[in-house]
Structure formats: structure tokens, C-alpha cells
């Protein structure tokens, strides 16, 4: 059997259309393909101990951005006061992308954290970086984010110029990769689905943007380079059975469609 170029192109188009139709993006409050409702949930990024050490060396403050909340744990270290030993940022889940059989392909959250570094000799010239709106790609084990800061030094992997700021935001930026995921990754009816993503490693471009925005120099760059694991993301997706009124509306909608179809046939 011989295939013409037109036939192959048509087959490719149908394949692409089939793949696209198999994926569904559902925002909070809307129905998933199986008819259940996505209630939302949360995703919590817990910083690794080595990342916290790097933040402590640079005296970097961490605050919440957008809809997220940030919690820090301080441990007494007499006679020096307290040391930050834990940092986590929790953001609400806004949508999920599902595939065949309810498999979760992508989880999206809103908000994040802002890191602010003061001027510290040999460490930082002073700067800030916000990481928000995480999008976790479970298929390719990548994490995308919106990052905001002064990235004029990113191309060269160095601190942004000191003395002025040119703040920009880059959306859908490939920031981290992750090594493992544990827990359910398929939504099969109403319930609460919790999983854990571990082994977050930063991309080279992500590292360069961190260095630029936080204006890291010398010890600051070296300390951040020694961070081989950025932490863990624990997420919980909540799915509920739709309210009876939702079923009633759906049935009413189908009835209206049926009436319209009958009228169209009569008019024809």
C-alpha cells in the first residue's frame, strides 16, 4: 500500500487532534472528565537544609508572594540567638491537566515566595527574586514558574548591574527538574489525592537567573552552587462528588439540546 504526502499529513493531523482531545484542563470549581468536581487543594514547597544554609549565609529573607503563605522555623542557638532551620511555601492549586483514565499530567498553583538579599560583602550586592505560579509537569519531571527580578546578568551568569533595577517577569520558565514522585497520580473519583515530589535540581538557566536577581558574588555564588537538592513538594488534590443541583442543571441542559435538535429536524 502506498501513502501519499496528503494522506500522511491527514493522519498526523488526526493523531495530534486525538492527543489534544485526550487532555483536559480543569480549573477549581469545574467538573473533571469523570463528572467529579475539582475542589482545589494545596502544594507546599519545603526548602532543603542545604538551600536554607545558603539563604542563611546570604542573610536572605523569605516572604510570601501572591496567594501563598510562607512559614519559617527558628531553632534557638545560644548564645547567638536563633537560626532559621526550616522554610516552606504553601500555594493553592488552581487547575490540573488530566489525560486518559484521569492520569494527572500537570498541576498548577498560584503565588509563591520572594527572596530578598541585602548588601553583604563577598556574598551579595543586594537584590530580590520572586518565584510564583508553579506548574509541575509530571510527564517530563519538570517544574515551571513565573520568576520576577533583575535578570540583566543572567546571560553571563553574574550579578545584575549594581545601582539600578530593571525588574522583569518571565512566565513559564523551566526552573527545576525533579527526580521522584510518590503517591497517586491518577484521579479516580471523589477523594483526596496526596503525593510527594523529591529531588529538585535547578537548571543552569535557573541558577544564572538566581545569581543575577539576588546579585550574588563570590561566596554567595559558591554557596548556591553547592545546593544539589532544592527541596520537596507535597501536594494534595481535592475532588468532590457534584452537588445534586449540578446534576439537575446538566440534565436540564441535555433536555434543551434535545429540544433544539428536534426543532431543527422539523424545520429541515
Residue 14 has pLDDT above 90, yes or no: no
Cα separation, 240 vs 192, whole angstroms: 9
Residue 3 has pLDDT above 60, yes or no: no
Question: Average pLDDT of the chain?
Answer: 87
What nine digits make up the cell of 40? 482545589
Mean pLDDT computed over 2-18 = 40
pLDDT digits (tens, 9 = 90+) for 145-175: 999 999 999 999 999 999 999 999 999 999 9
Residue 263 pLDDT level (bands cut at 50, 70, 90): low
Mean pLDDT computed over 26-33 = 96
Cα separation, 229 vs 60, whole angstroms: 18
Positive or negative CA dihedral for 184, 45, 64, 174? Answer: negative
pLDDT digits (tens, 9 = 90+) for 79-124: 878 899 999 999 999 999 999 999 999 999 999 999 999 999 999 9
Amino acid at each position: 500500500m502506498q501513502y501519499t504526502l496528503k494522506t500522511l499529513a491527514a493522519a498526523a493531523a488526526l493523531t495530534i487532534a486525538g492527543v489534544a482531545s485526550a487532555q483536559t484542563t480543569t480549573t477549581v470549581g469545574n467538573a473533571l472528565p469523570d463528572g467529579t468536581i475539582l475542589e482545589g487543594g494545596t502544594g507546599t514547597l519545603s526548602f532543603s537544609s542545604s538551600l536554607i544554609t545558603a539563604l542563611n549565609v546570604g542573610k536572605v529573607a523569605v516572604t510570601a508572594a501572591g496567594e501563598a503563605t510562607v512559614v519559617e522555623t527558628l531553632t534557638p542557638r545560644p548564645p547567638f540567638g536563633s537560626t532559621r532551620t526550616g522554610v516552606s511555601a504553601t500555594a493553592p492549586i488552581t487547575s490540573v491537566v488530566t489525560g486518559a483514565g484521569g492520569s494527572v499530567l500537570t498541576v498548577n498553583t498560584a503565588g509563591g515566595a520572594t527572596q530578598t538579599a541585602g548588601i553583604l560583602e563577598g556574598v551579595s550586592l543586594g537584590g530580590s527574586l520572586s518565584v510564583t505560579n508553579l506548574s509541575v509537569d509530571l510527564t517530563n519531571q519538570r517544574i515551571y514558574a513565573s520568576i520576577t527580578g533583575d535578570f540583566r546578568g543572567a546571560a553571563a551568569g553574574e550579578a545584575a548591574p549594581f545601582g539600578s533595577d530593571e525588574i522583569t517577569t518571565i512566565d513559564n520558565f523551566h526552573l527545576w527538574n525533579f527526580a521522584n514522585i510518590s503517591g497517586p497520580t491518577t484521579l479516580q473519583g471523589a477523594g483526596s489525592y496526596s503525593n510527594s515530589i523529591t529531588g529538585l535540581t535547578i537548571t543552569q538557566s535557573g541558577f544564572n537567573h538566581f545569581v543575577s536577581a539576588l546579585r550574588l558574588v563570590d561566596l554567595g555564588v559558591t554557596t548556591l552552587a553547592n545546593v544539589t537538592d532544592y527541596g520537596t513538594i507535597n501536594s494534595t488534590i481535592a475532588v468532590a462528588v457534584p452537588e445534586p443541583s449540578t446534576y439537575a442543571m446538566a440534565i436540564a441542559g441535555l433536555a434543551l439540546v434535545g429540544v433544539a435538535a428536534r426543532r431543527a429536524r422539523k424545520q429541515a
